Structure 1
Amino acid sequence: MKEVELLIDFHKNAKRQGPGSPSDTLKAFNFMDISKKKSLKVADIGCGTGAQTITLAQNIEGEITAVDLFPEFLAKLNLKTKEQGLEDKITTVKKPMENLSFDKEEFDIIWSEGAVYIMGFEAGIKNWKYFLKTGGYIALSEITWTTNSRPSEIDQYWNNEYPEIDTASKKIKILEENDFSPIGYFILSEDSWIENYYKPMEERFDDFLSKHNNSEIAKNMIDNQKEEIRKYKEYKDYLSYGFYIAKKVSNE
């Protein structure tokens, strides 16, 4: 089994594929000057198994188009959608985020929690704003430095993993340079990382290794996850996920 297939298998039964919480999702939404009674069109890009998709659908009127490349994740979201009675609100689409085929200014909100890194923050904003109405909102959570300087170990690790990691001021500047007016920003709490993401992940380690017969590739993958967790716990004062909320002010 290839590494990407192992990663999908490991994460497909997880409630979340990255740090976050229902309260984070709602906090981001509440920055937007939108009536909860208005019927909205929302795109949730890189939705994974859809924890935030469900939260949004439970709290807004309208339709959410949930996009992900992996059918295994979408199958889990479809199951949760049916269990929650939200079939009239959520539609899933299997599509790479780099090649979406929505109409110009189709959506009131574009949402993406912990997934824009796949394209890169700036590329995602430049690509997706075409589908967003002028006056509409974008909400993205993205790995972010919370200090201007940090120990070399964590600096080198994350710059190697994701060269676009940067401070919030640099991310906000990118939004401003691409026809957006920032209206809100906050960082995710330690609980959003540990309680909601890493602890459930750690609980899956043994069963996953057993399922894959303790293969070398499976063990390497778990070792990498353990190392990421260790680094977060040691260096959590220097980074988090930043949640960026901005309004599209131009269609140029």
Structure 2
Amino acid sequence: MDDLQLLIDLHLDGSRQGPGSEAVTRQAISLSGLEASPDLRIADIGCGTGASALVLAHDLSAHVTAVDFLPDFLERLNAAARIAGLGDRIETLDASMDALPFEAETFDAIWAEGAIYNIGFAAGAEAWRRFLKPGGILAVSELTWLTHERPAELQAHWDAQYPEVDTASAKMAVLERLGYAPVGYFVLPESAWLDHYYRPMQQRFAGFLERHANSEAAMAIVAAEETEISLYERYRDFVSYGFYIARRVD
């Protein structure tokens, strides 16, 4: 089993595949102004098992196209949508975020919680803009430095993992350059990392390792996750996810 299949197995039973919470999604909805709009069409890019898509469909009565390239995650979302009575509002799509099959100006909003890093913040914001209607909303959470300077150990880790990590002011400048007007921004709270992502994942480690007979590859994945968790616990004042809400301007 390759590393991708191992990661799918580790995260498949998680309600979230990155930091976030229902409260975070709802705060972003409030800042976006979307609550005042009827008959919304929203694309949730890199939706994972669908935590954000379920909130968007429920709270906004929106039609949500939930996109991920991992069919196992989409199957979980479809099941959850049926149980929640949202099956008619959520459509899943197996596709890569860098090759989306949408027509131009299709969506009132494009949502991506903890996922845009897979294509890169600037690349995603630029590529997805054409799918938004004029005045449409881009809402993404993105790894963000909270201070101008930070510990060398933390800097080295995230420079290696995601060189595009930067401060909020730099990210806002990217959005403005690419044809967006910033609407809102906030930093995800510690609970979005610890209570809703890291702690549930840690509780799955033992079963994950048992299923894979403590293979070298499985143990390496757990070790990498534990390293990231330890860094966050020690240096949470310096880094988090920032949630960016911006409007397409023409």
With normalisation by structure 2, the TM-score equals: 0.99
Is the counterpart of residue 240 in structure 1 residue 233 in structure 2?
no
Shift of 1:31: 1.1
Runs of 4+ in 1 over 6 A off after TM superposition: none
Q: Output the amino acid matched with 1:235.
A: Y
Contact 2:29–2:35 (CA<8 Å) still a contact in 1? no
Shift of 1:75: 0.6
User: Matches of 1:39 and 1:166 in 2, distance apart?
Assistant: 35
Q: Output the amino acid matched with 1:142.
A: E
Aligned to 2:204: 204
Aligned to 1:140: 140
Shift of 1:90: 0.1
Q: Classify the secondary structure of the residue corresponding to 1:200.
A: helix
Is the counterpart of residue 11 in structure 1 residue 11 in structure 2?
yes
Contact 1:113–1:141 (CA<8 Å) still a contact in 2? yes
Contact 1:68–1:96 (CA<8 Å) still a contact in 2? yes
Aligned to 2:127: 127
Aligned to 2:177: 177
Is the counterpart of residue 34 in structure 1 residue 51 in structure 2?
no
Contact 1:42–1:63 (CA<8 Å) still a contact in 2? yes
User: Matches of 1:37 and 1:155 in 2, distance apart?
Assistant: 41
User: Matches of 2:125 and 2:37 in 1, distance apart?
Assistant: 27
User: Matches of 1:141 and 1:35 in 2, distance apart?
Assistant: 19
Q: Classify the secondary structure of the residue corresponding to 2:88.
A: coil
How many residues are paired up? Answer: 250
Q: Classify the secondary structure of the residue corresponding to 2:101.
A: coil
Shift of 1:33: 2.6
Aligned to 1:167: 167
Aligned to 2:107: 107
- Identity among equivalent positions (%) equals 46
Contact 2:56–2:62 (CA<8 Å) still a contact in 1? no
User: Matches of 1:35 and 1:221 in 2, distance apart?
Assistant: 40
With normalisation by structure 1, the TM-score equals: 0.98
Contact 2:68–2:93 (CA<8 Å) still a contact in 1? yes
Q: Output the amino acid matched with 1:158.
A: W
Runs of 5+ consecutive residues of structure 2 not aligned to the other structure: none
Query: Which residues in structure 2 correspond to 1:37-56 (within 5 Å)?
Result: 38-56=38-56
User: Matches of 2:35 and 2:190 in 1, distance apart?
Assistant: 30
Contact 2:46–2:116 (CA<8 Å) still a contact in 1? yes
Shift of 1:92: 0.1
Q: Classify the secondary structure of the residue corresponding to 1:64.
A: strand
Contact 1:36–1:59 (CA<8 Å) still a contact in 2? no
Shift of 1:35: 4.0
Aligned to 2:61: 61
1:44-89 per-position Cα deviation (integer Å, ceiling 9, x unaligned):
0000000111111110123100000000100100110011010110
User: Matches of 2:212 and 2:145 in 1, distance apart?
Assistant: 35
Contact 2:44–2:67 (CA<8 Å) still a contact in 1? yes
User: Matches of 2:52 and 2:216 in 1, distance apart?
Assistant: 33
User: Matches of 2:238 and 2:24 in 1, distance apart?
Assistant: 20
User: Matches of 1:96 and 1:199 in 2, distance apart?
Assistant: 29
Contact 2:184–2:246 (CA<8 Å) still a contact in 1? yes
Aligned to 2:216: 216
CA RMSD of aligned residues (A): 0.8
Q: Output the amino acid matched with 2:20.
A: G
Aligned to 2:96: 96
Shift of 1:37: 5.5
Shift of 1:101: 1.1
